[in-house]
Structure formats: structure tokens, C-alpha cells
Structure 1
Amino acid sequence: MFERLMPHMRVNTIYDIDLHALKEQGIIGIITDLDNTLVGAKVPLATPELVKWLDVVRDLGFKVVIVSNNNQTRVAKFAEPLNIPSIHAARKPANRAFKAALTVLELRAEQTAVIGDQMMTDVLGGRRMGLHTILVNPITPADEGFGTRINRIMERFVLSRLRKKGLWPEEDRK
């Protein structure tokens, strides 16, 4: 059961993702979480570094959509200046928002990666939909809301089980 929470790839930040390797795997779409994945949870707009990264992503031919459990005001204020489609109040890990994101991207699941900082929402939801899952370390864990803090407690439990099975290295995140 815990294997459904294991990402296909783990990286420190989005900037550590090998975009060329994703393309070689046939992945041309990216569904990305917003808070603590692209920027800290309290950062209202994209950083210059993120804007550059998104330019590279687009130059390589990737399609991108932001899928967030956050509210419309937060998500739209962030996504609109970047000209990136978004889905707010996603209720990840439910399938509905991931299906909607695939429709927006006009891609199939096997052509798409989901990037996020939470095993219980981004990885579980992505794996259930057949997406390539990439787990990043949260940018500013101290700024997380109550629901995310509960998810982090569950993640620690899952990680302890995965470590006991030898499926997750001791020195890695969390």
C-alpha cells in the first residue's frame, strides 16, 4: 500500500529536475503544485529564478498547468501573470483536478508528470492517475497550514515504514 506514496523521482527543488530526461521518457506535460513547490507558501508572485525556469520549460516544449488545493484568489494571482492555466481548490489527491489538468494540457497521463511537495496529495493523486510523480522538498515548511501539517505527520509515519522495508534512504528528506 505504501508503494502508492512513493514518487518516481525525488529532488530537492524543481531546478534539480532533468527536463531533458523527462522528454526522453515521452513526458511533455507538467502538472505542478504551487505552494512550497514553485515558491514558498506565503510568496505571492513568481521569483525571477522561477520565471527563468518556466521559460526553459516552455522552450523545451512542455505544457504546464498549476493544480493547487489553495483558493482561487491565491492561485489566479500567481498563475495569471505567468500566463499559465490553473486549477484551484483541487482537493488533491482526488482524481477530478488531475483529470481536468490533463484536459487542459490535451495530453494523456503517460505523457505527463506531476510535481509537488506532498506525498499524501501530489504523489498519491498522481500515482492513482498513472502520472510520472516527482517529489520536491518543501520550500518553507514553517509556513504550512493546518491540513498540510497533518499530512506531514502522516508522511513521517509512511516514511518510517518505507525505511524499515529498505525502500527509502535514511538520510533523505523529512
Structure 2
Amino acid sequence: MVQSFNLSGIFGVLKVLKNPQLIVPHMVVNDIRNINFEILKNKGIQVLAFDKDNTLAAPYSDKLHEDFENAWKECKRQFGNENIIIISNSIGTDDDPEYRGAQKVENSLGVSVLRHKYKKPNGGTELISHFASLPPAQIAVIGDRLLTDVLFGNMNGMFTIFIKQIITEKGDNKVAAMIRRFEYRILDYLKDRGVKPPPHPFTLNSIK
């Protein structure tokens, strides 16, 4: 599957220029093995919304990365399959003919893939509508991109977890890989200047 150009990402950059804290995550981890899912649940997070590529799986793969099997089991044990969803800028979008890619991932990972029209960082209302009974603050967005995943979550009042150690650049979108390296430098720059993430009702400072 080839991911089409993400125009909404360009508009996202303009929002960040006005408010840089929108790309500062509430939590930074190497990968999902470093997330304490029990603490997240106890602090009030009810839903986990994962990016797929380089967060759960290698780019454009429908298989969970083998090193994450135990963490994924613990994630499901704490939250239940019905409270975990994948929101990707490839599968589940118009780039995914008849949502065949989404169906493969659902069969492989055992959780739903959100069908959505707008790519991250836009489309927050689509995820919020899917879990209409919950306030956005009870949703955590987990992904490897600042200008899509983290910006998406912060713009919509969600808790954001940034994955800083990707699985592989092999097979990745070359433009995305280039932008990701730029994002790392921007995050370091903002942190050095004391820029904090947007306020969030859950105090998770004990989680590093």
C-alpha cells in the first residue's frame, strides 16, 4: 500500500508555529514495552489509540513486531480489546482499497482499526465519535510521529505518548522518515527551552 500525500500535515505545521506545545508529548518512551499500562488505567485512561507503522509493526506490515508480544498481551489484559484501536494514516483511510489492509491488521492484532476520512493530525472528531461516551481526556494516543500522532492527540485534549525508538526505516515512507528526524531536533529544541505539553487533567509525571 502506498500512502498518499498528507496535506493536513502541512496545515498542522502552521498550528505548531502558533503554539509549539502542541507537538510536545505528555510522555516519551522508547517503545510500547516501556509503557506501564496498569498505571495508565489506574490514572483514568480508558482508551488507547495506537498508530501502527513503527509503533506496533514495521512499516506497512500487518504483523505485530515480535519483540512486543508480551507488552501487547499486557495492554489487552489491562484495557480489553474493545478499548484499544488503531488509527493509521495508511490502513483505514482512502489509501486502503475496500479497507482490506485494515481487515488484515484487525485479524492479526485482534483490535479494531478506525475507518476515517481525514488523516492525522486532522480527524479528531472521528475518533472521539467512535468513543462517544468518553471525554477525549480519557483517550491516550500512542505513536512515533510528532506532527501527526502527538499533534493529533494534543489538539483534541487527549493524553499523548511519543515512541522515540522506531522499529525500522526499511520500507518506510522516505518523506516521513526525513521529517521524523527533523521532528526529533525540534522536540529537543523545545524541551531545552522549557516548553511543556498542553495541560491534561491526569497527572502522570511519575511515568517516565
Q: TM-score with structure 1 length normalisation?
A: 0.81
Is 2:187 the partner of 1:159? yes
State the 1:104 CA deviation: 2.8
| Cα gap change, 1:127 to 1:84, in 2 (>3 Å) | same
- Indicate yes or no: 2:104 matched with 1:86: no
Where structure 2 has 5 or more consecutive residues not aligned to the other structure, the ranges are: 1-18, 197-208
Instruction: Give, in angstroms, the shift of residue 66 of structure 1.
Output: 0.2
Aligned pairs for 1:58-137 (under 5 A) are 58-62=76-80, 63-71=83-91, 72=96, 73-87=100-114, 90-94=118-122, 96=123, 98-106=124-132, 107-137=134-164
Per-residue deviation, residues 128-164 of structure 1 (Å, max 9, x unmatched) = 0000000012221343203413532541452353154
1:60 CA displacement: 1.5
Aligned-CA RMSD value: 2.4
Relative to 1, partners in 2 of residues 1:151 and 1:26: Cα closer, same or farther, differing over 3 Å? same
CA–CA separation in structure 1 for the residues paired with 2:42 and 2:179 = 33
Task: Report how many aligned residue pairs link the two structures.
Answer: 166
Higher relative contact order (CA 8 A, sep 6+): 2
Change in 2 beyond 3 A, CA 1:159/1:50: closer
- Superposed CA deviations along residues 66-108 of structure 1, whole A, max 9, x for unmatched, are 00001433333112333311125651000x2x33223334422
Aligned to 2:205: none
Q: How far is the alpha carbon of 1:117 from its aligned partner? A: 0.2
Alignment of 1:163-174 (within 5 A): 163-167=191-195
List alignment gaps of at least 5 residues for structure 1.
169-174
